[in-house]
Amino acid sequence: MFFVSLLLCCVLSRGVYGDASASSQENEDFLVAPKYLNNGEIRSLFARLQEEYPHLARAYSIGKSLQKRDLNVLALSAPGEDASAGDLLRPVVKVTANIHGDETLGRQMIVYLAQYLVKNYENVGEIQQLLNTTEIHLLPSCNPDGFAAAKEGNCESLPHYIGRTNAAGVDLNRDFPDRLDSQQQIQQKSLNRQPETAAIIEWVLNKPFVLSANFHGGAVVASYPYDNSLAHHECCEDSLTPDDRVFKLMAHTYANNHPIMRKGNNCNDTFTDGVTNGAHWYELNGGMQDFNYAFSNCFELTIELSCCKYPPAKTLPGEWQRNKQSLLQLLKLAHIGVKGVVKDVNGYPIHDATIVVSGLEEKPIRTTRRGEYWRLLTPGIYNIQALAFGYQASAPQQIHVTNDKNVAQRLDFTLSPIETNYDGISSFYSPYFFRH
Ligand SMILES: [Zn+2]
C-alpha cells in the first residue's frame, strides 16, 4: 500500500501539467482512492491532523448549519525559526468553498490543501516558508447541508436548486450585508439571516484576515470584486474597487498558474486570460466576496474551478495538480505591500487606528487589537498616514513598494495624543475647552 501510494504521488507530482516546482519528494498520499469526504469525515480528518501535527494545525468550528452540521475550519501556522518573535504581524488568510453546496470541487481541494501543507512542511522549503510566515484558515464547506443534498456527477444544479441552497432554500451567496444596502435594509436582512451566513460574518469581522479565496463551480475563471454595481445592470460593465490593481494581480496569479484557467476558453465562456470582474460577468447583490472587501480588511476573490459543478471523484487528483501552484502563489500574496504597528507614545498598541494610502483613501485599513495592520499594495511609491480617535494624525510617510520576494515592507507609526487637560481628557471633549 505504501509503495503504491508513493508511486502515485511521484507520478502525479512530476505532473502532466508542466509544474516545474513540484518535486518527487512531496507526499501526496492523500490522493490515493480519491473520494469526496462528507462533513463528519472532514471533522475527523481535521481532528486527526491536529493530533498528528500539534505544532502546525488547530481544528475548530465557526458554528453550525441549519441542520446542525459543523462549519469545520483547520488553522495552519508554524512557530517559525524565531519562535520568540511570536506571531505579531503574521498575516492571516483564508480559503473557503462550497457556499453553493452542489459546487464541490473547491471543497475537496481545500481538504487536500490541508493535508498537503502539514505533510510536506518538513521537506518542502516553500511550504515551510509559507507556514512560518502566514496563518492559513481553511473552511472547506460554507454550506454542508447543501452538500449533503447534492449528487456526485451532477454537472448542473438539481431542480429547485436543491443542494445549491442551504436547507431553508436560501442562496447563501446572496445573504450577506451589501455595501449598497441602506442601514435599514441591512437590519431587515439580519432578522432572517441564515445561521451559516451569520457564522461566516462573525468570523470575517473578528479575525484580521487580509486575503481570501472562495471556490465555486460551473465555470473556470478567477473573478474579482465588485459583484454588484450602482447601475445594477445585469452584466457587461465593470464595477471596480479602488484596489483594482491588487485584485487583478491576485486574479491573474491564480489564473496564470492554472493550466486550463489561463486559456480563458472553457465551458463555452470566453474570459481574457481567465479572469473577470464579477459585475462584468453577471451582477449579484449580497455576495460574500463584496462583503469581505466592503466590511472588513479582507481582499477576497471568487474562483470558479470546473465546468461541471460536482465532477466525479476520479477527477480529483488531476484537479489538485491543476490548482496546487495557483493556491500556493495566491496565498503568498498576503505578503505584498506594507505592514506595521501603530502605537502611542508610551509604546501601547492602538486598536482600530486607520491606515490611509494616498490615492486609495476610499479603502482605509483598520488596526488589530495589537495595533497591527497589513496593506496589500502593488509596486509603486505611496504616501501612507495613520489616524486614530483621540490622537494627532501622523505625518504622511513616503514608501517605495517593490514586493521583492513577497516580503511586506515594515512601516510603524507612533501617534501623539491630542492635547489633554490635567484630567487626561482630550481638551476637545472637555467641558473646560469651551470656557477658554
Ligand atoms: Zn457558485
What are the sequence ranges of the domains in the chain? Answer: 29-335, 338-415
**Active-site amino acid positions:** 304
pLDDT at 4: 38
d(CA 286, CA 276): 19
- Nine-digit cell at 109? 481541494
Range in 71-85, 101-115, 241-255, 286-300 the model is least confident about: 71-85
Q: Which class in CATH covers the domain with range 29-335?
A: alpha beta
User: How many angstroms is it from 223 CA to the middle of ligand 1?
Assistant: 12
pLDDT at 19: 46
356 φψ region: left (φ > 0), alpha (ψ -120 to 50), beta (else): beta
pLDDT at 1: 38
pLDDT at 5: 42
The mean pLDDT of the chain is 91
User: What is the arithmetic mean of pLDDT over 333-360?
Assistant: 98
User: What is the arithmetic mean of pLDDT over 366-373?
Assistant: 98
User: What is the arithmetic mean of pLDDT over 199-212?
Assistant: 98
Instruction: Please say if the pLDDT value at position 430 is more than 70.
Output: no
Instruction: Please say if the pLDDT value at position 285 is more than 60.
Output: yes
pLDDT at 421: 58
User: How many angstroms is it from 293 CA to the middle of ligand 1?
Assistant: 18
User: How many angstroms is it from 103 CA to the middle of ligand 1?
Assistant: 6
User: What is the arithmetic mean of pLDDT over 173-178?
Assistant: 96
Instruction: Please say if the pLDDT value at position 125 is more than 60.
Output: yes
pLDDT at 84: 72
In tens, the pLDDT along 179-190 reads: 999 999 989 888
Q: Which of 134, 92, 88 is nearest to 341 (CA)?
A: 88
pLDDT at 80: 75
Range in 14-18, 118-122, 360-364 the model is least confident about: 14-18
Instruction: Please say if the pLDDT value at position 24 is more than 90.
Output: no
pLDDT at 189: 87
pLDDT at 420: 64
**Radius of gyration of the chain from Cα atoms?**
23
User: How many angstroms is it from 300 CA to the middle of ligand 1?
Assistant: 15
Q: What residues sit around ligand 1, an ion, with C-beta below 5 angstroms?
A: 100, 103, 216
User: How many angstroms is it from 85 CA to the middle of ligand 1?
Assistant: 40
- pLDDT top residue among 133 and 5: 133
pLDDT > 90: percent of the chain? 85
pLDDT at 10: 38
User: What is the arithmetic mean of pLDDT over 283-294?
Assistant: 97
pLDDT at 85: 72
d(CA 8, CA 133): 30
User: How many angstroms is it from 231 CA to the middle of ligand 1?
Assistant: 23
User: How many angstroms is it from 146 CA to the middle of ligand 1?
Assistant: 12
Instruction: Please say if the pLDDT value at position 434 is more than 60.
Output: no
Instruction: Please say if the pLDDT value at position 20 is more than 60.
Output: no
User: How many angstroms is it from 162 CA to the middle of ligand 1?
Assistant: 13
pLDDT at 379: 97
* Choices 2.60.40.1120, 3.50.50.60, 1.10.10.10, 3.30.230.10: CATH for 338-415: 2.60.40.1120
User: What is the arithmetic mean of pLDDT over 244-267?
Assistant: 98
The band of 297, judged by pLDDT with boundaries at 50, 70 and 90, is very high
Query: pTM higher than 0.85, yes or no?
Result: yes
Instruction: Please say if the pLDDT value at position 22 is more than 80.
Output: no
User: How many angstroms is it from 99 CA to the middle of ligand 1?
Assistant: 7
User: What is the arithmetic mean of pLDDT over 357-381?
Assistant: 97
User: How many angstroms is it from 267 CA to the middle of ligand 1?
Assistant: 15
User: How many angstroms is it from 414 CA to the middle of ligand 1?
Assistant: 44
pLDDT at 432: 37
The band of 254, judged by pLDDT with boundaries at 50, 70 and 90, is very high
